[in-house]
Amino acid sequence: MDELVTGDAVVLGLRPARLPSRALATAIDLAVAGAAYLLVSVGIMLSTGSLDEAAVAALAVASFLLVLVGGPIAVETLSHGRSLGKMACGLRVVRDDGGPIRFRHALVRGAMGVVEILFSVGVVACVASLVSARGRRIGDVFAGTLVVRERVPTPHRAAVPPPPPWLVGRFAELDLSAVPDDLWLAIRQYLTRMGQLDAGVSRSMAERLAGDLATRTGTPAPREVPAGAYLAAVVNERQARDARRAFGPRVGAAPAPVVPEAGAGSPVVSPPPPADPSGDSPSASGDSSSVPPATGFAPPA
């Protein structure tokens, strides 16, 4: 698999699309655009019977540019690189750094596609894709784009490490509605790979991501909490909210113990833990469930 590397030395697991899948997607797009162009041409012929030949020719050129050139540009811009053919084949046009394309990228690809695909019947695009190591045609080279596969099997997916127990539920009131999906993806990728990074690089990336996350939430990150632990705790909170929205509250969960309100000057006494039927205290029991799970984060000093 050919992997993309961003300017921040972050490896993106994207597979460049090869010529057969790209050719099939292009054929679907051309069939749809050709059908639309045929309908527009028939409509022009039926409605311009009283015009002279020069006006009819001008309308024909305008319809060609509008449907066969402007149409694909508008579709790729509005769909962020997913035309009908690419959606059917599971492909997408992205920038060289893996980000979504904009109008200027679609404009360059569409303008070069007139020569590569329409005027040369796809010969130039096929030759360029075969020569390129990542299957790029000339329009992709000038636009700085790449066609990648979206539907890629992922047999193994690294799990995000859980946060420290002393941070679970601490960010329950945090507003996460303004955090974009690409930032969540970057945080998840960092948490799953932080054990493979150098300590200095890992700390720098965690602090940068924590700053971006705090800016989006509008609440500064606690100074006493390490940046990596803060990211893990916020991701855990988001997963917990998603689970509650999908499955609702936990059924059969034990209610929280109600502590009576203390009077003036009287201390509040917490209820004692339930007695173990075996007669052994929970601390003396050898059950491994009493040992907190390893999280990879150390508590603050």
pLDDT of residue 255: 45
Q: Smallest Cα–Cα separation from 97: which of 184, 25, 210, 3?
A: 3
pLDDT of residue 254: 43
Full-model pTM: 0.49
pLDDT by residue for the chain (301 residues), tens only, comes to: 444 444 443 444 578 888 999 999 999 999 999 899 899 888 888 887 677 778 878 888 888 888 888 999 999 999 989 999 999 999 999 998 778 899 999 999 999 999 999 888 889 999 999 998 888 999 999 999 999 988 655 445 567 888 888 888 888 888 998 999 889 989 988 998 888 888 888 889 999 999 999 999 999 888 888 998 999 999 999 988 888 887 776 544 444 444 444 444 444 444 444 544 444 444 444 444 445 555 556 555 5
173 backbone dihedrals φ, ψ, rounded to 5°: -95, 5
Q: Smallest Cα–Cα separation from 116: which of 100, 87, 89, 136?
A: 136
**Cα–Cα–Cα angle for 201, 204, 208, nearest 5°?**
140
The identity of residue 190, as a single letter, is Y
Structure tokens at 145: 């784009």
Residues in the chain: 301
Answer yes or no: are the C-beta atoms of 138 and 112 closer than 8 Å: yes
